[in-house]
Amino acid sequence: MSTPLLRCSNVSVAYGEVVGLRDVSLDVAQGEVIAIIGANGAGKSSLLNGIMRLAKTTGTVEFDGHDISRARASRLTRMGLALVPERRQIFPSLTVEENLLVGANALPRRERRAALAEIYDTFALLAERREQAAGTMSGGQQQIVALARAVISRPKLCLLDEPSLGLAPIWVSELFNEITRLARTGMTIVVVEQLASAALAIADRGYVLEHGRVALEGRAADLLGNAAVAGRYLGSVDQAAAR
Amino acid sequence: MMRPWARGGWRVELVIVLVAIVALVLLGGANAYYVRIIELVLIYAMVGMALDVITGYGGQFSLGHSGLFAVGAYAASYGYLHMGIPFPLNALWAMAIAAVAGVIIAWPALRLSDLYLALATMAFAFIVQLAANDFDGITGGAGGVGGLAPAISRYGISAWLGEHYLWVVGLAFVVTWILLRRMTRSRWGRALIGMRDSEMLAASVGVDLRALKRGAFVLSAMVTGLAGALFAHLGFLSPDIFQLALSISFITIVFLGGSGTLIGSLVGAIVVVGVPERVTIDPNLNLVIYGALLIVVMIAAPRGVAGALQSVAERWRRTRSAPKPSVAVDVHEPATPGPRVRPSEPLDPRRALVATDVHKAFGGNTVLNGVDLTVGAGRLVGLIGPNGSGKTTLLNILGGQLIADAAELRIDDERVEQLGPPDRVRRGLARTFQHATLVPSLTVSENVMLGAHLRGAIPFVGAPFAVGRRLREERALGERAAALLEEVGVEPGYWHRRPEELPYGVTRIVEVAVALAAEPRYLMLDEPAAGLVEEEIERLAGVIDRCVGSGVGVLLVEHHLGLVLRLADSVVCLDGGKIIMSGDPETVARHPAVLEAYLGPAWATPATEVTP
Amino acid sequence: MATLIEVLVSGLALGAIYALVGLSLNVVYITTRVVSFAQGDIGMLVVAGTLWLGDHGGRPLAVDLVLALAGAAVVAVLVDLIAVRAIRGGVGVAAYGWIVSTLGVSIVIQNSTAMWFGTESRGFPHVLPTGTIELFGAVIPTERLLTVAVVAALILLLALAVAKTQWGRVARALADNQPIAAACGVPTNWIRTSVVLVGAALVGVAAMLSAPQTFVNAYIGTSLLLNGMVAIVLGGLGNVRAGLVGGLVLGVANAIAGRYLDSTLVPYVPFVLLLVWLIFGADVRGKLASARAARRRDPVGVTA
């Protein structure tokens, strides 16, 4: 395999005393869609926060051949990394268009308008509501805003942190269709999800995290519906039954 | 970080007092003028201590103490000169007037948050400053009020007092210090610090925040008024004295000397008042240095001089005592009497924590859509569900941290929706939080003792005066804390450490102990196992089990299904704001709807068998 | 009628200055959540510095003004770096540590200025053209009208910048969510510094407009700050447009009080207004705040 677009080597993430991620290594090749699943507290968000330099990490993270382990968060967009944060975290007091323009900050000024136009072509919803304050939108709509804000800068790698969180099922399928479409344009995608089936259904490969470590990995099709995955996911239901 | 002086802290206080005495003697001397300086230092130190109680301990930022000081001074002088009240009775009169002023400010103003409170108290200080100039009748206007010091000698006995005024002031200082110190070393000191560091935690253990803020502010005003009265009798009052700059001086005294230490204000007063009087350089340079000191202190040593000494003493004491306990948690195995016998009699809804038809929406999002929940006494209900399902919101509504759009909540058949957290605690409800919430400035045992705040009996006004009772109460609370910590399995080596020094797993267990300290009838635990390792989860399970066995109704919100299945009498699964499944643990955990909620449609087929 | 017009214009001119100080405080607050108690003194440095520069070298006034502005701006950035950012992470004092440290800064600036400026109060040259015009029988100094015009222009300019430029967008994004703004590629430190610089410039202009009507000494910063603070409290912390209204209300109230009330009562007006609004306006503030909060994501946290 050629050099992976993203490589994490022995990455640990800690928030003060609490260890979120322990010694995790994984690779993401160009053009792949990777699903990271696991129960709450398994370390999924910690992984993304670590990659995006929003949390303290040890270990090495390499992106596109560069070591970004010590880089500043604001540099990463320019390098082609983008994040759709947990719980969307759009800028509530800004309008949809302003949110998108902030996302396009890394682009030179001339290109921003063009990128904006492209986004409006792709996401009709946003074109309709470009002047609406993002904070007044529903969760599902905000998720689209957050997604568009991340991809407007045409990143090489897009990280999505639990995009289905708090969304009604119909929005979930909309969203995952969108992600698939983006993947088809050649974007590399890493989706962290609690809703394992939705994530695995669109992914090439998957990793199951448990207690901050990689418990299982493999092709998404193999993991889907797998009983061992369910067991890991629900924190060893079987062990409890044995008591 | 500031903390009340634990046993042994008196050594640092003694050192400070001795150093202060030496400094004062050096500053002072036989010269009458320099005796005045010592009197001034002691008076300002009194105000410093008063301010420390409300700002250093209580976290309520007041820029208005120059106003209270003025009120006390002018009340005393007016009482003496125009109402014929002799000294020292006019000082009591001044305290009363200042207390009234304190009540007037405190009642509405303490609802305000930090910046607004600072501005409101600042406005008060300015108004007093202006009024001092304007209300000639009382204050003598810009010309000032004179004739106070010599006037003392008009009353026989008072002549002696006038000559020995330094001892009068000194006595007042010492008595004030002793009384305030007693208060801060009672449960009220912990409550103040808890309120400062974490209002949410303080409220959740039953501290009535509003009453405490008001009480502390009035106390602070009274002491400041007394200091003002003593100041008046130094001789001459002029409105120029009572400017905002004086409030800033008081703030400096507290923060430079040591906020949250009381005696630190003596050091602060020596530096702020004494030194400039004795060491005369360019007065502007003086002030520049003092301003710079303030900045440096806030950046480098927010605990001030006394606080820094205290840290040094702590560190020294720590290196001399037993080495830091190992992280291995096998040392203390509490006796496990075996799994709890599940209750057989039917649930009595009158002895239960009941939530009926809870609705809550944020903006456009409906988070809870008609949820019913019952936690019976002596039973454990597990509450599970994926992220975003509404579990923590439900807990917050039950606990009083959040108000529902619609809900009927009952504790032991009494409706409580209208009550705030402290009142619910009083009715037997306790909880832990999802994110670590211990008071950072207090030690582990002090945190647990704070949890038992409502078990104390000495009222706020009684605290400065109750000597024997206070010691007995403190000892009882301390012993109870020790027993609880032993029962939950926290090693004694951790008991006198601060939360920041503990491994994460230990802080979570301590939080459970804090909640148990209130002797609740109903306990709500929000993901207590999050971030814990196997052994710690074991111990936690034992604690919870024993708790339920002793008759406490427990609501356990958890993602760790193994723990829930072991401990629960019944399990409720929440998804999308509704209960999708409830019943006995085994059934619920394997139900396809639950699996689907967590994992998605691919796992909904009943044929899916989970293999080890 | 004529006097009423004069009083109103005078009040509006005063209020415009307060509003400008308030704007300076709000702009910085919006991005940093801090209200520097030394902000008024930054303004003082501009006018005191101009006078000092005027004493030392025969440059035109405009050049001195610009130089003094630049110097004050640098001081403002240093203050933010040293006394504010350094404080942010304390335990127990975190909430109001910056109040104490910026008070300390204020003391340092005021008294060190006294050392090189001297203790005498001095006049300040008029920055705007003097002269009067007649309006409905009232004689109005053109300076006052121009003050209102200048402030209005500045506020409009800044409102435009905040609303329409990329800088304004990212500054507002920073206030909403700093880490995510950084994750979007916003250089958060630079933006913060630029906001502090703008704040300094605004309060500097306010001082320039106010000084000719009064005087300059090392301590005028305090009254500038107080009036600005009352203005933003009346308008609601962080609300730029309302801060304007707050300043104008205060200015007109002061002017009316000055004309129609006993002179001893006049100084009380801002403080009484402030206290009354803080204490009794709570319900109104609450409703305004919840209306704004409803537009934002919920602060308590929906994840369960």
Q: What is the DSSP string of B319-358?
A: HHSSPPPPS---S-------SPPPP-SPP-GGGEEEEEEE
Report chain A residues whose CB lies below 8 A from the CB of B580. none
Chain center to CA of B382: 32
What's residue B136's pLDDT? 65
Give domain limits for chain C: 2-6+16-220
- Residues B456 and C82: their CA atoms lie apart, in Å, by 44
- Residues B608 and C104: their CA atoms lie apart, in Å, by 68
Taking CA–CA distances from C190, the nearest residue in chain A reads A74
Tell which C residues from 230 to 249 touch B, by Cβ distance under 8 Å: 233, 237
- Residues C22 and C206: their CA atoms lie apart, in Å, by 10
Mean pLDDT lowest among B265-269, B526-530, C107-111, C192-196: B526-530
Contact C55, C65 (CB under 8 A): no
User: Mean pLDDT across the stretch A32-56?
Assistant: 85
What's residue B156's pLDDT? 42
User: Does B281 score more than 80 pLDDT?
Assistant: no
Give span(s): CATH 3.40.50.300, chain B.
Answer: 348-428+520-612
Per residue, the 3-state secondary structure of B469-509, as one string, reads: HHHHHHHHHHHHHHHHHHHHCCCHHHCCCCHHHCCHHHHHH
Q: Among residues B44, B13, B32, which one has the least CA distance to residue B271?
A: B44
User: Does A177 score more than 50 pLDDT?
Assistant: yes
B146: tokens are 């004179």
What's residue B212's pLDDT? 92
What's residue B612's pLDDT? 36
Contact A103, A52 (CB under 8 A): no
Check CB contact under 8 Å for C169 and A102.
yes
Taking CA–CA distances from B125, the nearest residue in chain C reads C271
Q: Which residues in C70-163 belong to E strands, given as ranges? A: 132-135, 138-141
Report chain C residues whose CB lies below 8 A from the CB of A72. 182
Tell which C residues from 77 to 106 touch B, by Cβ distance under 8 Å: 82-83, 86-87, 90-93, 95-97, 99-101, 103-106
Using CA of residue C161, residue C162, residue C165, residue C167, what is the dihedral sign? positive
User: Does B105 score more than 60 pLDDT?
Assistant: yes
User: What is each CA distance from C160 to B192, B500, C163, in whole angstroms?
Assistant: 46, 46, 5
User: 3-state class of B592 per DSSP?
Assistant: helix
Chains with ≥3 Cβ pairs under 8 A against B?
A: A, C
If one counts every other C-beta atom within 10 angstroms of the C-beta of residue B551, the result is 12
A4: tokens are 């992976």
Q: Among residues C114, C116, C42, which one has the least CA distance to residue C83?
A: C42
A73: tokens are 């968060």
Tell which C residues from 101 to 140 touch B, by Cβ distance under 8 Å: 101, 103-108, 110-112, 114-115
How far apart, in Å, do the first and last CA atoms of chain A sit?
Answer: 45
How far apart, in Å, do the first and last CA atoms of chain B sit?
Answer: 49
Interface test with B, best of C119, C222, C271 (most B CBs within 10 A): C271
- Residues B387 and C71: their CA atoms lie apart, in Å, by 52
User: Does B54 score more than 50 pLDDT?
Assistant: yes
User: Mean pLDDT across the stretch B418-428?
Assistant: 90
- Residues C242 and B309: their CA atoms lie apart, in Å, by 47
Mean pLDDT lowest among A60-69, A227-236, B54-63, C241-250: A227-236
User: Does A117 score more than 90 pLDDT?
Assistant: yes
Interface test with B, best of C29, C35, C103 (most B CBs within 10 A): C103
Tell which B residues from 508 to 547 touch A, by Cβ distance under 8 Å: 527, 530-531
What is the reported pTM?
A: 0.85
Phi, psi of B462 (to 5 degrees): -85, -20
Check CB contact under 8 Å for A41 and B586.
no
Q: Does B126 touch chain C (CB under 8 A)?
A: yes
C186 CA: distance to closest CA in chain A (Å): 6
Q: How confident is the model over A161-174, as pLDDT tens digits?
A: 988 876 777 778 88
User: Mean pLDDT across the stretch A87-108?
Assistant: 91
User: What is each CA distance from B262 to B48, B54, B57, B212, in whole angstroms?
Assistant: 8, 11, 9, 18
Of C296 and B171, the structure prediction assigns the larger pLDDT to: B171
Mean pLDDT lowest among A63-67, A107-111, B299-303: B299-303
Pairing, β B429-431 against β B522-526: parallel
Phi-psi region of B64 (alpha: psi -120 to 50; beta: other; left: phi over 0): alpha
What's residue B219's pLDDT? 95
Q: Does A136 touch chain C (CB under 8 A)?
A: yes
Beta bridge partners of B578: B575
Q: How confident is the model over A5-23, as pLDDT tens digits?
A: 999 999 988 876 677 888 8
B489: tokens are 């399995």
Q: What is the DSSP string of B237-299?
A: B-GGGSSHHHHHHHHHHHHHH-TT-STHHHHHHIIIIIHHHHS-S-HHHHHHHHHHHHHHHHH
B531 CA: distance to closest CA in chain A (Å): 7
Of B288 and B329, the structure prediction assigns the larger pLDDT to: B288
| Dihedral, CA of residue B421, residue B425, residue B429 and residue B435, to nearest 10 | 60
Output the average pLDDT for chain B: 83
Check CB contact under 8 Å for B561 and A237.
yes
- Residues B592 and B580: their CA atoms lie apart, in Å, by 11
User: Does B2 score more than 80 pLDDT?
Assistant: no
Report chain C residues whose CB lies below 8 A from the CB of A83. 180, 183
What's residue B385's pLDDT? 84
Q: Among residues B391, B495, B507, which one has the least CA distance to residue B446?
A: B495
Residue with tokens 């009381």: B262
pLDDT band at C166 (very low <50, low <70, confident <90, very high): very high
What's residue B138's pLDDT? 65
Tell which B residues from 546 to 575 touch C, by Cβ distance under 8 Å: 557, 574
What's residue C200's pLDDT? 96
A39 CA: distance to closest CA in chain B (Å): 8
User: Mean pLDDT across the stretch A110-139?
Assistant: 88
**For chain B, how are helix, strand and coil distributed in percent, rounded to 5?**
60, 10, 30
Specify the CATH class of B348-428+520-612 in words. alpha beta
Phi, psi of C10 (to 5 degrees): -60, -45
Check CB contact under 8 Å for A136 and B560.
no
Q: Does A234 touch chain B (CB under 8 A)?
A: yes
What's residue C153's pLDDT? 86
What's residue C155's pLDDT? 83
pLDDT band at C208 (very low <50, low <70, confident <90, very high): very high
Taking CA–CA distances from B507, the nearest residue in chain A reads A17
User: Mean pLDDT across the stretch B401-419?
Assistant: 89
Task: Give chain B's radius of gyration (CA, Å).
Answer: 29
pLDDT band at A203 (very low <50, low <70, confident <90, very high): very high
User: Does B607 score more than 50 pLDDT?
Assistant: no
Tell which B residues from 350 to 379 touch A, by Cβ distance under 8 Å: 363-365
- Residues B20 and A158: their CA atoms lie apart, in Å, by 63
Q: Does A237 touch chain B (CB under 8 A)?
A: yes
Instruction: Taking each helix axis as running N to C, give the angle between helix C61-79 and helix C188-210, from 0 to 180 degrees, rounded to the nearest 10.
Output: 130
Interface test with A, best of B342, B387, B584 (most A CBs within 10 A): B387
Chains with ≥3 Cβ pairs under 8 A against C?
A: A, B
Q: Say what the ipTM of the complex is.
A: 0.87
The closest CB to that of C166, out of A101, A133, A136, belongs to A101
Q: What is the DSSP string of B372-406?
A: EEEEETT-EEEEE--TTSSHHHHHHHHHTSS--SE
Identity of the residue numbered A70: R
If one counts every other C-beta atom within 10 angstroms of the C-beta of residue A202, the result is 17
- Residues B166 and B88: their CA atoms lie apart, in Å, by 14
Q: Among residues A46, A54, A55, A51, which one has the least CA distance to residue A20?
A: A46
User: Mean pLDDT across the stretch B131-159?
Assistant: 61
Of B79 and A81, the structure prediction assigns the larger pLDDT to: A81
Q: Does B595 touch chain A (CB under 8 A)?
A: yes
Q: Is the peptide bond before B601 cis (omega within 30 degrees of 0)?
A: no
Instruction: Taking each helix axis as running N to C, give the angle between helix C39-55 and helix C97-117, from 0 to 180 degrees, rounded to the nearest 10.
Output: 20
| Dihedral, CA of residue B418, residue B424, residue B427 and residue B430, to nearest 10 | 160
**What 8-state DSSP symbol labels residue B61?**
-
User: Does B328 score more than 50 pLDDT?
Assistant: no
Check CB contact under 8 Å for A89 and C180.
yes
B360 CA: distance to closest CA in chain C (Å): 11
- Residues B20 and B12: their CA atoms lie apart, in Å, by 12
Q: How confident is the model over B548-587, as pLDDT tens digits?
A: 988 899 999 987 778 888 899 999 998 888 888 888 888 8
Of C205 and A43, the structure prediction assigns the larger pLDDT to: C205
User: Mean pLDDT across the stretch B94-98?
Assistant: 95
Q: Among residues C234, C204, C121, C267, which one has the least CA distance to residue B243?
A: C267
How far apart, in Å, do the first and last CA atoms of chain C sit?
Answer: 64
Using CA of residue C228, residue C233, residue C234, residue C237, what is the dihedral sign? positive
User: What is each CA distance from B99 to B180, B218, B221, B315, C164, in whole angstroms?
Assistant: 16, 5, 5, 40, 53
User: Does B490 score more than 60 pLDDT?
Assistant: yes
Report chain C residues whose CB lies below 8 A from the CB of B104. none
Output the average pLDDT for chain A: 85
User: Mean pLDDT across the stretch B490-514?
Assistant: 87
Report chain C residues whose CB lies below 8 A from the CB of B388. 302-304
The closest CB to that of A197, out of B561, B566, B603, belongs to B603
Q: How confident is the model over C87-126, as pLDDT tens digits?
A: 754 454 546 788 888 999 999 999 999 988 888 888 888 8
Q: Among residues B505, B477, B475, B501, which one has the least CA distance to residue B490?
A: B505
